[in-house]
Amino acid sequence: MTLNMNPRVNINLSTSEAIVFFDFLARNNEKDSLPIFEDSSERTVLNTVECILEKELAVLFDRDYKRVVQKARETLNKS
């Protein structure tokens, strides 16, 4: 079996999911030695996803960011 590594994979998230996921990534990417990584490529992927989310979510620069994250968490917890 030949695996083509060039195609893209698209993931659709709600805005609340994206905000909560970004917050999780941002908090955990600040830690240099997370024991969950088996290979440095895993950290690279998470950094890439964090950057993509940062570009897509203007709300991340809201002056009341913590409130935005809390509201997103509450929305997801209701689901």
- Residue 14, CB-side half-sphere exposure with 13 Å CA sphere: 8
Query: What is the tally of structural domains in the chain?
Result: 1
72 pLDDT more than 80: yes
Is residue 8 assigned to a domain?
no
Q: Which domain holds residue 60?
A: 15-30+37-78
CA distances 61 to 17, 34, 51, 55, Å, are 17, 26, 13, 10
7 assigned to some structural domain: no
- Alpha-carbon radius of gyration of the chain: 15
- The answer to the question of residue 69 being in a domain is yes
19, amino acid identity: I
Higher pLDDT, 72 or 5: 72
- 14-65 per-position pLDDT tens digit: 999 999 999 999 888 766 655 677 888 888 888 899 999 999 999 988 899 9
pLDDT of residue 22: 95
